Structure 1
Amino acid sequence: MTGKPYSRSTFKRFRWKEKPKANSQNNAWYHPDFKAYADYMETVEFKQAITALEQLALVQCTVIMCSEVVWRHCQLATILNYLKLNGWHVWYIMGLGRVKAHHYNSPARIADGKLIYHSPNLL
């Protein structure tokens, strides 16, 4: 982005450190942090945060980043699943001049046009 104006924002509303809901249906996730994040994605707060991000992306090139070394360990992947389902082009920057298209991670399923993380036996 050399020579180009850009701005930096922190979407703190995407940070979620709660435990999974006791009645969570997002049981396709093995790790409780991902299950809790999938629960969070069902809230009004998440919908407001993702809408703000999408509106920003409509007016300028937008990058969202995670500090995890291995992207599969980051809850950002669940946000990327959501964005991809909603028609956004999602790419990983792998290095200088290298990008990789996002693919839904294995727990993600699409049912009735919605992203879910339920075990197949619950569908």
Structure 2
Amino acid sequence: MWTVGHSTHPLEDFVALVRAHGVHHIADVRKMPRSRRHPQFNVDTLPAELGSAGIGYTHFAGLGGLRREQPDSVNRAWKNPSFRAYADYMQTAMFEAELDRLIALGAREPVAVMCAEAVWWRCHRALVADALVARGEPVLHIHTPQRAEPHVLREFARVENGRVTYPGEPELF
């Protein structure tokens, strides 16, 4: 499984980027799969454009970001409230079901988890990658056509029964 940010890429460059890593399917984890600045990545055109390039597309709304932090959060190691909120959401049945669906897709064909942010560690893709690694799924973060970085579970992450939490006091990000 890979992760990739569509960033500001023209669509042709994005297709070349994921093809260079053997990706056959894009799993869009944007909660709202639209972009005013980069309309080539809007859900009303992207699936057809990718399809014409031989790349599949599935929107995983249940893996999208922009979640609400829970007042009794067990994920206090995240200083960044957005990441803490997403980590809280990762404890839900909805997240687990969508992650299962993503893993099943990845078992059938090479998949890249896509969001907008170019840098994986500034995006909730980092937490999705933690959840995948906790389930035994290797993850590579695509940087360039020649370079993909293996994901390593964050040192403050705790895994129990395939589920990730980030306990502790706020210290990071």
Q: Compute the TM-score of the two structures, normalised by the length of structure 1.
A: 0.85
Deviation of the 1:18 alpha carbon: 3.0
Deviation of the 1:112 alpha carbon: 6.4
Q: Which has the higher contact order (CA 8 A, sep 6+)?
A: 2
Per the alignment, residue 126 of structure 2 pairs with 77
Per the alignment, residue 53 of structure 1 pairs with 102
Deviation of the 1:113 alpha carbon: 5.6
Which range is displaced more, 61-70 or 103-112?
103-112
Instruction: Tell me, yes or no, if structure 1 residue 88 matches structure 2 residue 137.
Output: yes
Per the alignment, residue 78 of structure 2 pairs with 29
Quote the Cα distance in structure 2 between the aligned partners of 1:48 and 1:69.
26
Instruction: Tell me, yes or no, if structure 1 residue 115 matches structure 2 residue 167.
Output: no
Per the alignment, residue 57 of structure 2 pairs with 8
Per the alignment, residue 99 of structure 1 pairs with 148
The two structures, once aligned, show a CA RMSD in angstroms of 2.2
Instruction: Provide the secondary structure at the position in 2 that maps to 1:65.
Output: strand
Deviation of the 1:84 alpha carbon: 0.9
Distance change in 2, residues 1:106/1:57 (3 Å): same
Q: Compute the TM-score of the two structures, normalised by the length of structure 2.
A: 0.62
Unaligned segments of structure 1, at least 5 residues: none
Distance change in 2, residues 1:74/1:97 (3 Å): same
Unaligned segments of structure 2, at least 5 residues: 1-18, 21-51
Matched positions, count = 120
Bigger share in strand? 2
